Amino acid sequence: MDLLDESIVPEHARDAKHEAREFAAEHIEPNAEAYYDSGEYPWEVLEAGMDAGLVAQDIDEEYGGRGFDLAEVLAIAEEFYRADAGIALTLQLASFGCEMVEQYGTDEQKEEYLRPIAENDQISGLAVSEPETGSDLAGMTTKAEAVDGGYELTGEKYWVGNAVEADWLTVYAKTGDGEDRYSNYTLFIVETDSDGYEAEHIPEKMGMRASKQGHIVFDDCFVPEENVVGSEGGGFYVLADFFNHGRVVVGGHGLGLAAAAIEEAEEFVHGRNAFGRTVNEFQAVQHTLSDMRIGFESARALNWRACEKVADSDDAGYWAALAKTKSTEVATDCAEKGMKLHGGRSILTDRRIARVYRDVRIPVIYEGANDIQRNLIYRQSR
Ligand X SMILES: Cc1cc2nc3c(=O)[nH]c(=O)nc-3n(C[C@H](O)[C@H](O)[C@H](O)COP(=O)(O)OP(=O)(O)OC[C@H]3O[C@@H](n4cnc5c(N)ncnc54)[C@H](O)[C@@H]3O)c2cc1C
Residues that bind ligand X (CB under 6 A): 96, 125-129, 134-135, 159-161, 208, 213, 362, 365-366, 368-369, 371-372, 375
Q: Taking CB positions, which residue lies at the least distance from ligand X?
A: 134
State the nearest-atom distance from the C-beta of 146 to ligand X, in Å: 23
Which is nearer to ligand X, 3 or 126 (by Cβ)?
126
First vs last C-alpha separation in the chain:
39
Closest C-alpha among 341, 197, 327 to residue 263: 341
CA–CA separation, 72 and 78 (whole Å)? 10
Task: Give me the least distance between CB of 168 and ligand X, in Å please.
Answer: 14
Is residue 76 within 8 A of residue 68, CB to CB? The reply is yes
| DSSP one-letter code for 122 | -
Residues 45 and 52: their CA atoms lie apart, in Å, by 10
Ramachandran region of residue 39, left (φ > 0), alpha (ψ -120 to 50) or beta? left
Check if the beta carbon of residue 330 is closer than 8 Å to that of residue 254.
Answer: yes
**In terms of CB distance, is 78 or 367 closer to ligand X?**
367
Instruction: Tell me which amino acid residue 279 is.
Output: V
Write down the least CB distance from residue 205 to ligand X, Å: 6
Q: C-beta of 136: minimal distance to ligand X in Å?
A: 6
Neighbours of 314 (CB within 10 A): 11
Beta-strand relationship, 185-191 and 124-127: unpaired
Q: How far is the CB of 192 from ligand X (least distance, A)?
A: 13
12 or 379: whose CB is closer to ligand X? Answer: 379
Nearer to ligand X, 127 or 330 (CB): 127
* Closer to ligand X by Cβ: residue 210 or 362: 362
- Minimum CB separation from ligand X for residue 173, in Å? 12
**Which C-beta is closer to ligand X: that of 292 or that of 364?**
364
